[in-house]
Chains A and B, each alone.
Chain A
């Protein structure tokens, strides 16, 4: 019974395809695979906006939205109606074509990333040999869309915001890719399906997820930090900080285009979380072997919701990083740690399995990391404040 529940969507798709004439089958197969993504993830986006507002509210000792609908859950409907019916103001000196295309490109690039995420057993849209590479390639198109948005508005604030956003995204793309390289080294393949299959085994009741290894934990943490920075989320949201630069690169956008930017940003966050789940958290596999009766797609979305909750939690806790602090963190701490992580992954591969391997790798990772953190902290000179006129 449970295997069929697990494969219910695959079987449904095969049944529908059986009714379609053979000539149109590739097209129908593509459409049937893509439509659930186009439906589910924007729905998840809507739910996430209201969950985030309520979650942040509770963290800040207040209710979130609680008037529209039961406990405020129709708030995204209200937001959607507002966005769609707002007047679309385009500045007179703006570059009309580029101004229009930027949000479209952002949303399209964000949707493309879902093509290689395995959402359940046998449920991936495209099983590419270089799936992980495809994901990162598509992620770099987002930067171009950000630039287009910032430049086409012909406004100082938007250009400044775009520059900072691009600098931040490029800086954090390097640790993002390096953190995933360790997984590729261990799994021996760039295909996301193969990576998940490698993590789907169990020793006793414990899973083989990569996050339960020293390099996996560090890699996961680094990947999540870099993912937070890639999606311009707090505490890395200086390019779009409302109190700093108003809205940064999408300051001149209103109405539906603004909603598209918002959608693209959140979809990027979901896609990168999905990739983190695929690479480190075992994709669609259950955390304990006796829980395998729950369908695989339920586990994927459960993990995704857990990561989203983590994002919201971090947003409610940490203050915004300044631009130079952000860049210093990327190049001075995260990049060396990622390179050290790759070294440790190599050591892991060539040592015999056992507790010694675990301890050795953990020590090789922990000690330089702690020393680096200490050294970086000492570098900051805290001056004694003197008040020139107030004495």
Chain B
């Protein structure tokens, strides 16, 4: 038929036009500031530091081992160790970073720092609204800006965070069990040592008395 292709095309566009009012699959626009596209869990933008508890300084998991600084390909991390120590996530006293800077204009989001961190201290954030009008320091994030709570980490990466939390819970349980066993052993050893000392003291007391007599007897 003459013009068949044109009529079929017109029917298709009419279907698109009316379908866009009825169904969502014929209108794929996201109205940006009001609606956002849902992100998958593995989304990553730039790194951040995790802290447990409420205090960002005390609960910071990072022990300034500087592995991420060495492994970072574009070298965007700067770490300065502190002079004193504080207890880390498991309870052991460790150094902590006095300065921890990441230059996110250099960072390429490769996630290598996350992969090599032995302390689960640095993880990938999902926030992309990071533009700044300060052209000199606006994209250099310091420790205070990088430290975000473990609760936040649980919100953005639920499965990962749960895995990390269970691991830490086990570690803590192990450490506590060790401490308890050590305390018990110490207490047992102390008790044993006390009992020994007591027996030795009594033997000592009896011994000089026993020793004086044989001295008189032996001088005949």
Which residues of A are interface residues toward B (Cβ below 8 A)?
55, 58-63, 313-314, 316-318, 369-370, 373
A370–B13 Cα gap in the complex (Å)?
Answer: 25
Which residues in A have their C-beta under 8 angstroms from that of B27? 58, 61-63
Given contacts A369-B2, A373-B2, contact A59 B13 (CB under 8 A): yes
Once the chains bind, are A313 and B13 in contact (CB under 8 Å)?
A: yes
Once the chains bind, are A313 and B14 in contact (CB under 8 Å)?
A: yes
Give a binary string over B12-48; 1 marks a CB under 8 Å from any A CB, 0 the rest: 1110110011000011110100000000000000000
Which residues in A have their C-beta under 8 angstroms from that of B14? 313
- Compute the total of residue contacts between A and B using a CB distance below 8 Å: 41
A79–B29 Cα gap in the complex (Å)?
Answer: 23
Partner of B16, one of A59, A63, A314, A373: A59
B10 within 8 A of A: yes
Q: For the complex formed, measure the closest distance between the CB of B164 and the CB atoms of chain A, giving whole angstroms.
A: 42
B216 within 8 A of A: no
Give a binary string over B108-139; 1 marks a CB under 8 Å from any A CB, 0 the rest: 00000000000000000000000000000000
Once the chains bind, are B16 and A60 in contact (CB under 8 Å)?
A: yes
Once the chains bind, are B20 and A317 in contact (CB under 8 Å)?
A: no
Once the chains bind, are B2 and A58 in contact (CB under 8 Å)?
A: no
20 additional contacts (CB under 8 A) given A313-B10, A370-B1, A373-B2: A55-B17, A58-B16, A58-B17, A58-B21, A58-B27, A59-B13, A59-B17, A59-B20, A61-B20, A61-B27, A61-B29, A62-B27, A313-B13, A313-B14, A314-B10, A316-B17, A317-B9, A317-B10, A317-B12, A318-B6
**In chain B, what residue has the closest Cβ to A319?**
B9
Q: Is the interface of B mostly helix, strand, loop or mixed?
A: helix
A369–B1 Cα gap in the complex (Å)?
Answer: 10
A316–B20 Cα gap in the complex (Å)?
Answer: 14
B contact residues, total (Cβ < 8 Å): 17
A370–B12 Cα gap in the complex (Å)?
Answer: 24
Q: For the complex formed, measure the closest distance between the CB of B1 and the CB atoms of chain A, giving whole angstroms.
A: 8
A63–B30 Cα gap in the complex (Å)?
Answer: 9
Which residues in A have their C-beta under 8 angstroms from that of B2? 369-370, 373
Which residues in B have their C-beta under 8 angstroms from that of A317? 6, 9-10, 12-13
Once the chains bind, are A62 and B17 in contact (CB under 8 Å)?
A: no
**In chain B, what residue has the closest Cβ to A372?**
B2
Q: For the complex formed, measure the closest distance between the CB of B123 and the CB atoms of chain A, giving whole angstroms.
A: 36
Looking at A55, A61, A62, A316, the one whose CB has the most chain B CB atoms below 10 A away is: A61
Q: Is the interface of A mostly helix, strand, loop or mixed?
A: helix
A194–B10 Cα gap in the complex (Å)?
Answer: 35
Once the chains bind, are A62 and B13 in contact (CB under 8 Å)?
A: no
Which residues in A have their C-beta under 8 angstroms from that of B20? 58-59, 61
Which residues in B have their C-beta under 8 angstroms from that of A61? 16, 20, 26-29
Once the chains bind, are A62 and B28 in contact (CB under 8 Å)?
A: yes
Which residues in A have their C-beta under 8 angstroms from that of B13? 59, 313, 316-317
A370–B3 Cα gap in the complex (Å)?
Answer: 10
- 24 A–B contacts, CB within 8 A, in A order: A58-B16, A58-B17, A58-B21, A58-B27, A59-B16, A59-B17, A61-B16, A61-B20, A61-B26, A61-B27, A61-B28, A61-B29, A62-B27, A62-B29, A63-B27, A63-B29, A313-B10, A313-B13, A313-B17, A317-B6, A317-B10, A317-B12, A318-B9, A370-B2
Looking at B2, B16, B20, B27, the one whose CB has the most chain A CB atoms below 10 A away is: B2
**In chain B, what residue has the closest Cβ to A235?**
B6
**In chain B, what residue has the closest Cβ to A60?**
B16
Q: For the complex formed, measure the closest distance between the CB of A378 and the CB atoms of chain B, giving whole angstroms.
A: 14
Which residues in A have their C-beta under 8 angstroms from that of B9? 317-318
A55–B13 Cα gap in the complex (Å)?
Answer: 10
**In chain A, what residue has the closest Cβ to B12?**
A317
